[in-house]
Amino acid sequence: MSNVILVASGKGGTGKTMFSVNLGCAISSFGNKVVIVDMDMGMRNLDMYLGLEGQVVYDTYDALKGICNTKQALIKDDKFKNVSIMAASPVNEEGSILEEDVEKLFEELKSKFDYIVIDGPPGIGDNIEAVASHIDTGIVVLTPDYAAIRDADSVDSFLLRKRIKNRYYVVNKAVLTLEKRGLEVKLDEIDSIMKSNPLGAIAYDENIHISTNIGVPIVSKPDAYITKNFLKIAKRIIES
């Protein structure tokens, strides 16, 4: 049985694509076959964060609409052998993705992969509505500021309404020195606002920023503290 994970957020730029890539690679390192599907239509980034942009011919939209077959839209990563991706389409037409398109594609992906990680758009749109019935695990990525937390809570309420079994949140871009000085929302306070379960916190680190820019996931560095953090998060998901 494969596990379908939606990576969502209230606001844009919280780190969904960075998180999807590193979570997917971390889950694969435990021997699982993983596909990361970019569904942030119009804002295609996932392929770049893995350095695969030169290999995109067909995208998620093409696979959904039968313009190509599923295999043609899958790109295998060269560093993480158990990871494949599907790139987002460069344009977003609201309402164009239908539940029946999703049904067909996801049934096929479920037969090929142990984990399907969906890199979602910010907020709740038609594309999320169309995939909602397939989601087992919803992870909302937020940053430690009140606006991001409030919007994250709204997205989490949507996931709750859709009866998604496992709901988590991740605090990304945390700056411990600011938190200690009371200049950033504390993790305890975030936890008191959010109704889902905490999955982990990821520090603001320029190495993460560099990694997405050069197209090499940070979890490629086996000894980095961030890699260890991602492996812990991946293990929690696998065991949930």
Ligand X SMILES: Nc1ncnc2c1ncn2[C@@H]1O[C@H](COP(=O)(O)OP(=O)(O)O)[C@@H](O)[C@H]1O
- Contacting positions for Mg ion (CB under 5 A): 16-17, 40, 45
CA distance 55 to 68: 15
The entry of Mg ion, ligand X, none that residue 95 binds, CB within 5 to 8 Å by partner kind: none
Terminal Cα-to-Cα distance of the chain (whole angstroms): 13
- Nearest approach, Cβ of residue 139 and ligand X (Å): 12
For residue 172, what is the DSSP state? E
**Residue 32: which of Mg ion, ligand X, none does it interact with, CB under 5 to 8 A by kind?**
none
For Mg ion, give the closer residue by CB, 9 or 32: 9
The least distance separating Mg ion from the CB of residue 61, rounded to whole angstroms, comes to 16
Tell me how far, at minimum, the Cβ of 18 lies from ligand X, in Å: 4
State in angstroms the smallest separation of the CB of 197 from ligand X: 20
12 binds, among Mg ion, ligand X, none (CB under 5 to 8 A by kind): ligand X
Binding site for ligand X (CB under 6 A): 9, 12-18, 45, 172-173, 202, 204-205, 208-209, 212
Paired residues of 4 in beta bridges: 116
Distances (CA, A) of 192 to 87, 162, 185, 196, 197: 36, 22, 11, 10, 10
Q: What is the DSSP string of 86-133?
A: EPPPS---TT-S-HHHHHHHHHHHHHH-SEEEEEPPSS--HHHHHHGG
